[in-house]
Amino acid sequence: MELIIKENYEDMSKMAAEIIAGLIKSRPDCVLGFATGGTPIGTYKELARMHASGGLDFSNVKTFNLDEYLGIGIDLDKPYEQDQSYARFMHEELFKHINIKKENIHVPDGLTEDSGKYCIWYEEEIKKAGGIDLQLLGIGGDGHWAFNEPGSSLASRTRVQVLTKQTLEDNYESFYKKAGIKKEDMPHSAITMGIGTILESGHALMLVNGAKKAEIVAKALEGPITSRITATAIQIHPGKVTTILDKGAASKLTWIIDSI
C-alpha cells in the first residue's frame, strides 16, 4: 500500500485528481469507479478544472458509482425531483462540467422495480466494461466502504443494504437536514457495490480528511481485518492501493510515511 500524507484537504484533492487524470491520459477508455460524499468533492472540482483549462478528455471514459439510495433517483433528461439522489450529486459536482457521454455513466438506479435483478445486471455491466480500473473510495464514520455496513461480508457483491443508525445520522446531517427533509422521511436502504466487487478494481484510491476520522483510519489501515470495519479490506486488496490522507486524518497512525 502506498500511503501519502498531505498538508491539507486541498493538496490531498489535487493529488487524487492528478492520479485519476494520469490514468485517463494513458488509457482514454479507462473505467473509473466514483464515490459520493463530501470528501471527493475537491477531487471532482479539480478534474473539472483540468477538463476546462487543459482539455482533459472524458469522452471515452466509463464510470460506475458505488451506491445510491433505494427509492430515489433522477432522469437527467427531466427536471430534478429528488435533490438528495447520488445521481444528482454526481451530475452537479462532476458530470455536467466534463465531456463524458451519458451512456457511459452508471449510477445505481434507486427506482428500480426489481432490485435483485438490477444488482445482478449492475455487476454484469461492470464485467462487460472490462472491470473497474480505478476505484475512488472514502470511509464512513464506522469504517464502512460505500454502504457496506458493519457485518457485511468481505466477499459481498452489489446488493440492497439496510443502513445502520450511525449512517442514517451521518447522512442526515450532511445531506438531508439542510434540505429541510425530516429524518424519518430519508431512505433507510441503499443499493451498494459489495466489498468483493470493490476488491476486483485494478487500483483502489482511498481519500480521507479531518481529525474526526483519524481513529477509524488507524483501525482500517493498521487494525485486524474484520467485517465489522469493512474498509479494513483495503489491507487485502490484490491490486494497487493508494491512500491519501491529510495530516488530521493521519494523526493517529502508529507508522507514518513522510509527507510529499
Positions marked catalytic: 67, 142, 144, 149
Q: Which of 203, 194, 237 is nearest to 24 (CA)?
A: 203
Q: Can you tell me the distance from the alpha carbon of 238 to that of 133, in angstroms, rounded to the nearest whole number?
A: 13
Q: Can you tell me the distance from the alpha carbon of 51 to that of 90, in angstroms, rounded to the nearest whole number?
A: 16
Q: Could you write out the DSSP letters of every residue in 79-138? A: --S-TT-HHHHHHHHTGGGS---GGGEE---TT-S-HHHHHHHHHHHHHHTT--SEEEE-
As given in the structure block, the three cell numbers for residue 28 are: 482514454
| Pure H helices in the chain | 9-26, 41-54, 86-93, 115-128, 165-171, 195-198, 214-222
Pairing of strands 67-69, 62-65: unpaired
Classified as helix, coil or strand, 249 is coil
**What separation in angstroms does the CA of 110 have from each of 81, 146, 198?**
13, 15, 19
Q: How many CA atoms lie within 13 A of 63 on its CB side?
A: 23
Q: Which of 134, 104, 118 is nearest to 18 (CA)?
A: 134
Contacts of 254 (CB under 8 A, 6+ apart): 218, 222
Q: Are 63 and 134 in contact (CB under 8 A)?
A: no
